[in-house]
Amino acid sequence: MPSHEEWLDAEAGPVVRPYQLTRGRTRASGEAFDMVATVMATQARIAAPGGLGPEHFSVLQLAQKPTTVVDIASDVALPLGVVRILLADLREFGLVTIQAPIPMKARQVDRETLKEVLHGLRGL
């Protein structure tokens, strides 16, 4: 009977530790981005797929439609810091774009919509 333990299910924990997924990096390269930034895959082709791990491809698959950094982290069940590094790698390869959220001050506020919301709240 073998003496080594086998991880048989998701409850046993990750097979690869987060620091291995990021090759020991603790910070994303390039411009910093917020956890609510929108990520979208580009149409670029993968020039060197050997530089990407399976986690990169999982993240890239989720970015086929616009989604946030935090949603990707939740979907792939990896720490947010790890996902930021994976996204920075994909951005370096030109495979994703990362758009900062629009600050509240920069958004156009439709006065009529606000009046309707206020009227509805008063009606409650």
Q: State residue 61's pLDDT score.
A: 94
Predicted confidence band at 73 (pLDDT cuts at 50, 70, 90)?
A: very high
Looking at CATH, the fold of the domain delimited by 14-123 is given as Arc Repressor Mutant, subunit A (1.10.10)
- Residue 66: C-alpha distances to residues 51, 85, 124 (Å): 24, 18, 35
pLDDT single digits (tens) 95-123: 999 998 877 665 677 788 888 888 888 98
The residue behind tokens 């996902």 is 83
pLDDT single digits (tens) 28-57: 677 888 888 999 999 888 777 777 888 889
Q: State residue 114's pLDDT score.
A: 83
Tell me how many degrees the CA angle 96-69-60 measures, rounded to the nearest 5: 40
**Residue-range domain boundaries for the chain:** 14-123
